[in-house]
Amino acid sequence: MPLITPLPPDHNSEVAELAQFFNETLGFCPNSVLTMQRRPAIAKAFIGLNKAVMDNQGRVTSDLKRLIGYLASLTAGCQYCQAHTIRAAERYGAAADQLEHIWDYRTHPAFSEAERAALDFAVAASSVPNGVDTAISDNLRLHWDDGEIVEILGVIALFGYLNRWNDSMGTTLEGPAQESGNAFLGTHGWVGGKHI
């Protein structure tokens, strides 16, 4: 049972219009947003932040941003966001090898050194206490410029918010996200937890 029941998608017309962004990303409006709309300003601000963070400015691609979000959510333990990010990574064209071997990103040939640096940063920045050290920072700077690092950390921070929101709320996982979780993550211990 979620802490707060989501409102219908058409409850607030401004939020509903802004939330159409998620139809491209996930194929549906997330229950997290439907819960946030109890305070429309929060829902609208969140959607605006999500759009800004996920906007591509260069080499940090849509699929990589979703894989960064996945590892941030895996590190934080949020199974709701794990299912959403792996679904979005697939929808944005992540290579099958990357989807199937995200847990082995440090050694699997499907990942470049630049991607490894970004994903190492995602894990370290999502850890409590924060694990970003000089070695991780220096490696990140070898592969990414300042603007790209801001984009990468924007994704990590966005999912930090979402991980806490959805795990604390016990947000119910939507059917399509559950299907993606089962398909890509089920053999690696993902069960959906409190979100099913």
Helices 62-76 and 146-169, interaxial angle, to 10°? 50
Domain that holds residue 147: 61-195
Q: Give percent of the chain with pLDDT exceeding 70.
A: 100
Write out the two tokens for 95.
Answer: 């290579």
pLDDT in tens, 2-36: 999 999 999 999 999 999 999 999 999 999 999 99
Burial of residue 142 (CB within 10 Å: 0-12, 13-18, 19+) is exposed
C-alpha angle with apex 83: 164 to 92, nearest 5 degrees? 115
With cut-offs at 50, 70 and 90, classify the pLDDT of residue 1.
confident
Inside any domain, residue 112: yes
Q: What kind and span of H or E run contains 122?
A: helix 113-126
Which pTM value belongs to this model? 0.96
Inside any domain, residue 46: no
Q: Does residue 157 contact residue 76 with C-beta atoms inside 8 Å?
A: no
Inside any domain, residue 4: no
pLDDT in tens, 153-163: 999 999 999 99
- Best CA proximity match to 70, nearest among 18, 105, 39: 105
Whichever domain contains 167, its CATH number is 1.20.1290.10
Inside any domain, residue 141: yes
Inside any domain, residue 99: yes
* 168: number of Cβ within 10 Å: 10
Inside any domain, residue 39: no
* 59: number of Cβ within 10 Å: 14
